[in-house]
A and B are shown apart, each in its own frame.
Chain A
Amino acid sequence: MTINPNQPIKFSPLHRLQWEEAQQKDVILYPEGMVELNQSSAEILKLCDGTRNLAQIVADLEQKFATKGLANDITAFLEVALKNGWIQQN
């Protein structure tokens, strides 16, 4: 499963992304399960709102953190996310 670079990416409506105060972490919630996210994974997923494609997500994050060369890491993480059903395309 690979990310289609032309299509927007959206967070799955069958999952919920939420900040957990008690854990001081963002988590993904789904039936009978929870995944704890590190900060960078959470930042990526928050941009998966169905309006941005891969290149736009990379550009936004590079701008936000004033850095370059994030494309490989972000793509790798989004492929894991797609495989796990956390995100969708079309």
Chain B
Amino acid sequence: MAGSNKTKITPPRWLLAELTYACPLQCPYCANPIDYANYQAELSTEDWKRVLTQARKMGAVQLGFSGGEPLTRKDLPELVKHARDLGYYSNLITSGYGLTEEKIVQLKEAGLDHIQVSIQASSQELNDHLAGTESFQLKKEVAHLVKKHGYPMVLCVVIHRENIHQMPEILAMAEELGADYLELANTQYYGWAHANRDLLLPTKEQFEQAEQIAQAFKEKVAGKMKIYYVVPDFYEDRPKACMNGWGTTFLTIAPDGVALPCHSARELPGMDCPNVKDYSIEQIWNESKTFNFFRGYDWMKEPCSSCDEKEKDFGGCRCQAYLLSGDMYAADPVCSKSPNHPIIQEAIDSAKASALADNEKPLIFRNSKNSRLLS
């Protein structure tokens, strides 16, 4: 389109294949949508193979098999093999639940590159409470087996108020299990975590103390273990460069085939997210209304549109702007330049008040019953 100032479209590099919303765990900070129980239909094996082929042709190279619990899909080894044949680097993002040694070997032979195991806490009691399932011992065994069979082992621990005091023990556990990478993911408050925010958001003091401990550990294990530290944006002055910019790098396919620029995007109003059963990945990526919605900078409002940092953080996260301010075009309220920034302090104060209250309300666990109740 000569003469047009349309944003140049870069090809997708990362494909997140959310194979299913089924999961034996019930983590109260799950990133799946609250109303996941309404999406029962799952893509067929052939649909997934077609998606993998089309996205690879466009340049996607990192592939995450996620969910829910991706191991509940019986065709996982077949999809892994297809991905390997296409040249993807494939990552299995799992709770470890249902991962036997036989399956670990089978997936390795199919060409799986790496396994990321989530652990909820450093103690059995808290892990099993947060997961809503007895799973701690099993997860540790899985971590050993992953190493034994030559995979890079990534341990992922989501950090929040219930486990942030365990930071030293979590780090010791990662070392003991021989993790090659440790992802310390401070909770991002979407989906179930948003619903449970008063119970999960740590205080600034808790967060800073935990960060210091993690930082010292990072230096100690340099060269042996890599630490991915996901910052809690509620305690930052500037928003995260969400998804590296909308429709620039990341493509998520939900279990029912809906294509999303990020895994929360289907919660934005009027997005009409396209389905891979109706369109090719190329059509979806290049031509769909959804993927073009927040590309470039033309959609921005003040203070973003004249901000000299807009090319750095793209105005932050659209889903967070919508969730917290009701306006998906607004600056991410995390930004101190945002007129909605006081919302963040209110959320922090509300969480602190909840922690100090005599009768703290219970966590809402992620399961189908609660999903139907809340949606």
Q: Which residue numbers of A lie inside 8 Å of B, CB to CB?
A: 1, 13-14, 16, 18, 20, 22-23, 27, 29-34, 83, 85
Contacts and interface: CB of A to CB of B under 8 A. Distances in A.
A1 B62 CA distance: 29
Contact of A32 (B59, B150, B154): B154
Given A1-B223, A83-B223, A29 B89 contact: yes
B59 A31 contact: no
Contact of B59 (A18, A22, A30): A22
Contacts of B64: 32
B108 to A, nearest CB: 12
Interface string B99-122: 000000000000001101000000
A22 B57 CA distance: 8
Given A14-B152, A14-B180, A18-B87, A31 B114 contact: yes
Interface residues of B, number: 22
Contact of B91 (A13, A14, A31): A31
Given A13-B150, A29-B89, A32-B154, A20 B59 contact: yes
26 contacts: A1-B223, A14-B152, A14-B180, A16-B113, A18-B61, A18-B87, A18-B89, A20-B59, A22-B57, A22-B58, A22-B61, A29-B61, A29-B62, A30-B89, A31-B91, A31-B113, A31-B114, A31-B154, A32-B91, A32-B116, A32-B154, A32-B228, A33-B62, A34-B61, A85-B223, A85-B226
Given A1-B223, A14-B180, A34 B59 contact: no
Interface in B28-71: 57-59, 61-62, 64
Given A22-B11, A30-B152, 12 more contacts: A1-B223, A16-B89, A18-B61, A18-B87, A18-B89, A29-B113, A31-B116, A31-B152, A31-B180, A32-B64, A32-B116, A32-B154
Contacts of B61: 18, 20, 22, 27, 29, 34
B235 interface: no
